[in-house]
Structure 1
Amino acid sequence: MALFHVQGLPIGWVAIMLALLASMGGFIFGYDTGQISDILLMDDFLLRFASCTTPGDAMTCTFSTVREGLIVSLLSIGTLVGALIGAPTADYLGRRYAMTVECGIFIIGVIIQISSTNVWQQFAVGRLISGLGVGSLSAAVPMYQAETAPAQIRGTLTATYQLFITFGILVAYCISIGTRNVGASGSWRIVVGIGLLWALILGIGILFMPESPRWLAKQNRLQEAQDSLARTRGIPREEAQDHYIIQREVEEIRSNVEYESKIKAGWIDCFKPKNKTLYRTLLGMTLQSLQQLTGANYFFYYGATVFQAVGLSDSFVTQIILGAVNFFCTFGGMYVMERFGRRMPLILGGIWQSAWLFVFASAGTARDPTTDPALGKLMIISACMFIWGYAMTWAPGVWILIGETFPTSTRAKQGSLSTAANWTWNFLLAFFTPFISKAIQYKYGYVFAACNLTGAVVVYFFLYESSDLSLESVNMMYIDPECKPWTSRKWAPPGFSSRQDLINQSRAAEQHKPLASGALDESRIEKRSSSSAEEV
């Protein structure tokens, strides 16, 4: 039975469960991101892996800029490679089995890290291997969620990936502050080792969820695809064969897969202009790059160090504050993305984030924040306000778009390329931030402020509004020559007069009411579809 209805259409509990369970991939991502900031300040970690002028005295231990950058950033190198191999893995094994294998790789990396004794290179290599698993998951999870979630709540369910990233960061901060006084290596080994639990939950649990119906359709397993759709809709299997909504979705998926099967899609096809494939590949890579260039990970990777430099007595607590703001505001982001679409929140978010980064940088450069407590507090407030805007817009929004912007034939590969762009910039920022901060200090915030404004401009001129549409309809919108990014909010699939008409007709169909506008007149659909195909 359906758990509840959205826009008159049924949503099953399986749809919620698969989104939450798959989002454990985001939790693993966030947990690995959040833990390193505090671990770098733990006494035992410093004594084992840093350079100490007085043996046994952690107060005299420091990391060189290169060593600190490598320990933090090698995770990102692994995730970059993982994101690229995530596509063929997910296409070959299926979305669920791919995630299970990727969790196994992550577990191997964690074991290497917690078995490190005094060789920092071993710990860094462990992070590199864990990154392979994290990167592959970051490509597979949003794709699986977008392909499986009902269109009416796809934005919300896909956004749970980002929600769990923020939750993972917050949990890492909380565990770190709880273990920092644990004797010997337990202070950091406990933090890293607990990561095994998260991988086991995802790797085993995802096997009990339905496979992506679009992947199943590509394998000519239409009956299983129908069953998968029925489970997410909360419709009994025996009723699915005669259920209007299920049959409409199955036919839409089947037709799209049949069309795309005639096109052999390899990596090179991601860069072909036809059907705006190249356009969407570059757009996805640009959006993922700009998400990193917002500056969020500047605070997540080096926040403890930054606020310690500001003169705070306990920078661990400040990290928890930032993590909490990030996590709880992401709930608002899920609502914003579902209620207001994709374009407007990203545009306004870019402007908001830029303004507060400008405040952060100006406060840090006006006077020495270590001698002016008021400026230090202003920097913390501006950082929190920046994170608030980021968590409400760019954090969940970009991951939603990566799952729903690309055509089925190249979705996995384009998603991998986009995610790889994210991890490339993640590495560059993680590695070079110590060097840049040392050179220009808090003026670094001005660079991120400019990048946020650039993001708002890119969204306005290039991103199409994909909310409320099926993945197949999103593809039709991008290849419609009459549709422009700034007018895309009003675009609707063939046979519907508007986006709202689509919602109304779907609700009427579910309730078995007459379709007053004739929105599903098949001759109209075929005519418009044919003309669109000829144009492209």
Structure 2
Amino acid sequence: MGGLLFGYDTGQIADILLMEDFLDRFAQTNSAGEKEFSVVREGLVVGLLSIGTLIGAIVGRYFSDYLGRRKAIAIFCGMFSVGVLIQVTAFTSWVQIMMGRFISGWGVGGLSAAVPVYQAESVPKQVRGACTSTYQLAITLGILLAYAFSIGTRELDNSGSWRIVIALGLVFCLILGVGIFFVPESPRWLIEKGRTEEARRGMARVRGLDENHPLVNSDFDEQWAAHELDKRAGTGSWVECFLGEGKEVHNKAPYRTMVMIVMMAFQQLTGANYFFYYGATIFQSVGIEDSFVTQIILGAINVSCLFFGIWVMGRFSRRWPLIIGGIWQSCWLFVFAGAGVGGNPEEKKYGTLMIVSAALFIFSYASTWAPGIWILIGETGTRKNRSRQAALGTASNWLWNFLIAFFTPFITREINYGYGFVFAGCNLAAAVFTYFFLYESSGISLEMIDAMYSEPGLKPWQSGKWAPEPYASRKEAIRDEKSKGESMMLEHSEHGENRRRRFDSSDSQRTAAGPTPVAVHNKKAQPA
């Protein structure tokens, strides 16, 4: 739900900007007497959400560390709701819309920092990659839902055309804000606060096992040992994120911080939000009669390919999908920009080529850079400063989100579809950066990742072959973790089957024994 709110707020504005009632109320009148947003007003309405999310991402770290991940998530849902209410009560003031999106951004930004960390800390390491990928999957689903609801309301000739779309975000917010209290708190946070029994119960519940099961004990001991190391090293700080965690600690904390900041920036510089924010306007300009439908098609590709992307990031690795994805995306952006600059986009053949190249770009983005970056945000940070580094990385993502959202109208007015060449170059740079600077973190625990970054002389392009002690190879370590996960699932299945058999057996015995004696209705006679 946190990711869905992120995507829903991102996707809705592209179509709302074209709705007649919204234009009549908040746009300016041009020289031809038509309603039209100026580039400044359009940039602020679209982009100020991202400034709010940047602030929320930084502040979110404090809330999640001091109040717990669950309470922080609930608080940021409240902030998002306030922003939505400000927007839906606007009548003629575009500033009210802008500020409502800004306050909603606080909520979305806080969730974007807290939710991936909560996921990474709570789930078993055997399925961590798949589970944290669902955050990005939900983002794409939110974008698609925003497009779908916009198509459903666009024919309304009143303010309901855009108010309904914005207000529906409250439904998802309510599900998350209330539902988060029906799942366990992060065990890592509970251990830090000394609530070890509660942490053990939560770990057992998430894994579907008894509290004293060997796998629960093993995971608990691993996290407890990491906590003890953190205690001896002292509490973390923002300064340590950039200057290191002490002379005796060689875990590359500043390096990891900068990798997260740069990788999150590159996710925005791929150009995906160029299509998500302004896609309806782009495709309207190339002669597509119903640009809303085109947005739906791109959104559907985005969602469906995320399932493939989750499988790719879990099955193969983190590094190579990002490298290959960056190169593939660059190729199709060159095609998109070339068709737009070298040909006439209003001609069918060029317009079709641009749509196809945009779709193939989205296919790659959804399969690689979309899920991959949100997996890394929960894996790359150090034990002491993971939440701070995640907040810095997320803030970087939102800063570039704002810069792209705000400056795109200015840039496209000057160079039009040549903007695609800029993003094509950024994708190539992202692939090169990933090869030379990102360490391979797939298949191993967060504690093992910390040990990998602490390995003297290990280069990023060699990290895929690094193995934690006592394993001879990374594949052996992953096989062992996978076998543990399979045995956990088998044990859980057998445990459930045994419980069913015991229930069936006792039920048969009760049936054979006849009606329940009246004495059983006495409260004192009932078993505990």
Does TM, scored on the shorter chain, surpass 0.5? yes
CA distance in 2 between counterparts of 1:197 and 1:247 reads 38
1:255 aligns with 2:225: yes
Partner of 1:296: 272
CA distance in 2 between counterparts of 1:466 and 1:503 reads 11
Say if 1:162 and 1:395, in contact at 8 Å, map to a contact too: yes
> Given the superposition, is the C-alpha separation of residues 53 and 500 from structure 1 closer, same or farther in structure 2, using an over 3 Å criterion?
closer
Consecutive unaligned residues in structure 1, runs of 5 or more: 1-23, 513-536
CA distance in 2 between counterparts of 1:464 and 1:420 reads 21
Consecutive unaligned residues in structure 2, runs of 5 or more: 245-249, 488-528
CA distance in 1 between counterparts of 2:315 and 2:343 reads 42
1:153 aligns with 2:127: yes
- The alpha carbon displacement at 1:149 in A equals 1.3
Partner of 2:170: 196
- The alpha carbon displacement at 1:334 in A equals 0.4
CA distance in 2 between counterparts of 1:398 and 1:156 reads 13
- The alpha carbon displacement at 1:368 in A equals 2.2
> Among residues 47, 52, 73, which one is paired with 2:24 in the alignment?
47
1:391 partner letter: A
Question: C-alpha deviations, 1:18-60, integer Å up to 9, x for none?
Answer: xxxxxx0000000000000000000000000011359xx9x81
Question: C-alpha deviations, 1:178-208, integer Å up to 9, x for none?
Answer: 1001131000000000010010000000111
Larger radius of gyration: 2
SS at the partner of 2:90? Answer: coil
Give runs of aligned pairs for residues 322-471 of structure 1, distance below 5 A. 322-370=298-346, 372-471=347-446
CA distance in 2 between counterparts of 1:267 and 1:90 reads 15
Question: C-alpha deviations, 1:290-342, integer Å up to 9, x for none?
Answer: 00000000000000011111111111111101101101100100000000110
Partner of 2:207: 233
- The alpha carbon displacement at 1:511 in A equals 8.6
> Among residues 237, 244, 262, which one is paired with 1:266 in the alignment?
237
Identity of aligned residues (%): 56
Question: C-alpha deviations, 1:425-466, integer Å up to 9, x for none?
Answer: 000000000000001111100110010011111111111111
CA distance in 1 between counterparts of 2:106 and 2:484 reads 45
Measured on the aligned residues, the alpha-carbon RMSD in Å equals 1.6
2:110 partner letter: S
CA distance in 1 between counterparts of 2:358 and 2:91 reads 35
CA distance in 2 between counterparts of 1:150 and 1:77 reads 34
> Among residues 69, 72, 86, which one is paired with 1:98 in the alignment?
72
1:324 partner letter: A
> Given the superposition, is the C-alpha separation of residues 439 and 152 from structure 1 closer, same or farther in structure 2, using an over 3 Å criterion?
same
Say if 2:251 and 2:382, in contact at 8 Å, map to a contact too: no
1:260 partner letter: D
Partner of 1:62: 36
After TM superposition, the runs of 4+ consecutive aligned structure 1 residues lying more than 4 A away are 506-512
CA distance in 2 between counterparts of 1:410 and 1:51 reads 47
- The normalised TM-score by structure 1 is 0.88
Give runs of aligned pairs for residues 134-149 of structure 1, distance below 5 A. 134-149=108-123
- The alpha carbon displacement at 1:510 in A equals 7.5
- The alpha carbon displacement at 1:508 in A equals 6.0
SS at the partner of 1:35? Answer: helix
- The alpha carbon displacement at 1:506 in A equals 4.3
1:223 aligns with 2:197: yes
- The alpha carbon displacement at 1:496 in A equals 1.4
Partner of 1:524: none
- The alpha carbon displacement at 1:264 in A equals 2.3
CA distance in 2 between counterparts of 1:504 and 1:192 reads 47
CA distance in 1 between counterparts of 2:280 and 2:185 reads 41
- The alpha carbon displacement at 1:75 in A equals 0.3
CA distance in 1 between counterparts of 2:486 and 2:337 reads 55
Partner of 1:116: 90
CA distance in 2 between counterparts of 1:53 and 1:480 reads 62
Say if 2:126 and 2:481, in contact at 8 Å, map to a contact too: no
- The alpha carbon displacement at 1:352 in A equals 0.4
CA distance in 2 between counterparts of 1:129 and 1:296 reads 24
> Among residues 495, 500, 504, which one is paired with 2:475 in the alignment?
500
- The alpha carbon displacement at 1:148 in A equals 0.8
Say if 2:6 and 2:142, in contact at 8 Å, map to a contact too: yes
1:319 aligns with 2:301: no
1:211 aligns with 2:211: no
Question: C-alpha deviations, 1:330-389, integer Å up to 9, x for none?
Answer: 01000000001101100000000000000000000012212x111001000000000000
CA distance in 2 between counterparts of 1:81 and 1:510 reads 38
Say if 1:214 and 1:408, in contact at 8 Å, map to a contact too: no
- The alpha carbon displacement at 1:500 in A equals 2.4
> Given the superposition, is the C-alpha separation of residues 509 and 349 from structure 1 closer, same or farther in structure 2, using an over 3 Å criterion?
closer
CA distance in 1 between counterparts of 2:79 and 2:484 reads 46
- The alpha carbon displacement at 1:509 in A equals 6.2
CA distance in 2 between counterparts of 1:455 and 1:434 reads 24
CA distance in 1 between counterparts of 2:345 and 2:478 reads 53
CA distance in 2 between counterparts of 1:37 and 1:373 reads 23
> Given the superposition, is the C-alpha separation of residues 410 and 510 from structure 1 closer, same or farther in structure 2, using an over 3 Å criterion?
closer
Moved more, 190-199 or 215-224: 215-224
> Given the superposition, is the C-alpha separation of residues 483 and 310 from structure 1 closer, same or farther in structure 2, using an over 3 Å criterion?
same
Give the total of aligned pairs: 482
- The alpha carbon displacement at 1:122 in A equals 0.4
Question: C-alpha deviations, 1:74-96, integer Å up to 9, x for none?
Answer: 10010010011011111011111
